[in-house]
Structure 1
Amino acid sequence: MNDPLTLFSLIHTSLLEIVSFALALVMVILNIRQSPWAWLFSITSAALYAVVFYGSKLYGDMSLQFFFIAVSLWGWYQWLFGGVSHHGVQISHLTPKGWLYSALAWMIGFVAIASFLRLFTDTDVPHIDAFLTSGSLVGQLLLSRKKLENWYVWIGIDLIYIGLYLHKELYLTALLFALFVVMAAIGLHTWKKSLASQTVETATP
């Protein structure tokens, strides 16, 4: 399933990458719509992409997929039963302290992952892989808690990922992440409107 094939005599890919691509697109669409079913597609897509990234020696990204699976299970629970009323978490803003903790987690994760990749793997892109892997961990955690700022994180990360995947000749995945940038911008706009509606409903007696 991970054997190479060529689409339209231009794009080198594999059936596994194509399936992962499709599942990831559905996942983001469902995230924008705040559907808990997004997490099921996240789990399946992550499991398949772990195999794709292993074949491309993107070990940081490969390991990230297993974290995505674990966080997706937690996020699924949060979206269904989290929050004070246990009816699911609501969209909210990240506090200044939350921004600080997120930045520190990103930095610490980057240093730890980059060190591991340099010492124990044969990857040729340890630093950018580590930076994006650590940032993706932060973005996924913010998404699971429905923090509006998760979309800003994903827009920045996805833009850089496009270049990395082009370098690795994962052209279909590079296209996917270009679509992710557009969809993240749509998600940001949609969630802002939902947050404004929540605020009005809360303020209405």
Structure 2
Amino acid sequence: MDLLEILFQPYQKTPLKFIVLEGIAVVFGLLSVVFSKRDNILVFPSGMISTLIFVYLLWEYQLIGDLMINSYYFIMSIYGWIVWTRKVDNTNFIPITKINASEWKKAIAFFMSASVFTILIYFVFGKWENWISAVDVLTTAIFFVGMWLMAKKKIENWIFWIIGDLISVPLYVYKGLYLSSIQYLIFTLIALLAYQAWKKKLNKPQAKLLK
């Protein structure tokens, strides 16, 4: 069995349009992460295209936790777009910064709230099944915090992305979404590089949002 056969075997009974849409969503998702690494405002429109497609696909697959993540991404992309375009003076936009002690407390509270909310959603929709549901709750909460911190241009967002991506790689393999699993593996590598790239720009306001 060659690599392509392994990758596409789970899609044998999947409508072609779903396969094509997932491929498009993956491409725009990767572009979004690359733009984020470069501190480029295009992170948001590219990410919004990807998340909208995934919302549709995940609804069809009835993967509620993942659907919630992508719906939240879309909303936070709008918020992030607004935040990133704020200026600290007539020339420069807000810089990349670190979160302080108060923001760490908010991040922890956000993580706990997102976990509880996701658990409630699973039970309301009757989707809590096994350990996969518990892992979905964990990754949902991690990604919720990561997206919030990215929208606020906090360097620690990459720590959350790295952790969540590493968990998602084997999780999506188990779910049979191999293309998405490969996407998260690439996300992990880009996030590691992005953390280093953002460190070099820490506390340095930028004059351009398109780079």
Do Structure 1 and Structure 2 share a fold, with TM-score over 0.5? yes
1:187 aligned residue (165, 174, 194)? 194
Query: 4+ runs of 1 displaced by more than 4 Å?
Result: none
Per-residue Cα deviation, 1:59-97 (whole angstroms, up to 9, x for no partner): 1111221221111111111111x2543753210001122
Residue 10 of structure 1 aligns to a residue whose secondary structure is helix
Question: What are the equivalent positions in structure 2 for 1:1-205 lying under 5 Å apart?
Answer: 8-12=4-8, 13=11, 14-80=19-85, 82-85=86-89, 87-122=92-127, 124=129, 125-195=132-202, 198=204
* Preserved contact between residue 135 and residue 157 of structure 1 (Cα < 8 Å): yes
* Preserved contact between residue 89 and residue 145 of structure 1 (Cα < 8 Å): no
Mapped partners of 2:167, 2:150: distance in 1:
19
For residue 4 of structure 1, what is the aligned residue in structure 2?
A: none
Residue 202 of structure 2 aligns to a residue whose secondary structure is helix
The one-letter code of the counterpart of 2:115 is: F
Residue 195 of structure 1 aligns to a residue whose secondary structure is coil
Structure 1 residue 40 displacement after superposition:
0.2
Per-residue Cα deviation, 1:152-177 (whole angstroms, up to 9, x for no partner): 01000110111211111000100000
Mapped partners of 2:62, 2:128: distance in 1:
6
Per-residue Cα deviation, 1:86-135 (whole angstroms, up to 9, x for no partner): 75321000112211210111012101211220232335333221221122
Query: Aligned pairs, how many?
Result: 191
Unaligned runs of 5+ in 1: 1-6, 200-205
Give the fraction of aligned pairs with identical amino acids, expressed as a percent.
25
Structure 1 residue 183 displacement after superposition:
0.3
* Preserved contact between residue 159 and residue 178 of structure 1 (Cα < 8 Å): yes
How big is the alpha-carbon RMSD for the aligned residues of Structure 1 and Structure 2?
Answer: 1.8
Mapped partners of 2:78, 2:89: distance in 1:
20
For residue 3 of structure 1, what is the aligned residue in structure 2?
A: none
Q: Which moved more, 1:133-142 or 1:40-49?
A: 133-142
| TM-score normalised by length of structure 1 | 0.86
Mapped partners of 2:24, 2:120: distance in 1:
32
Mapped partners of 2:56, 2:128: distance in 1:
15
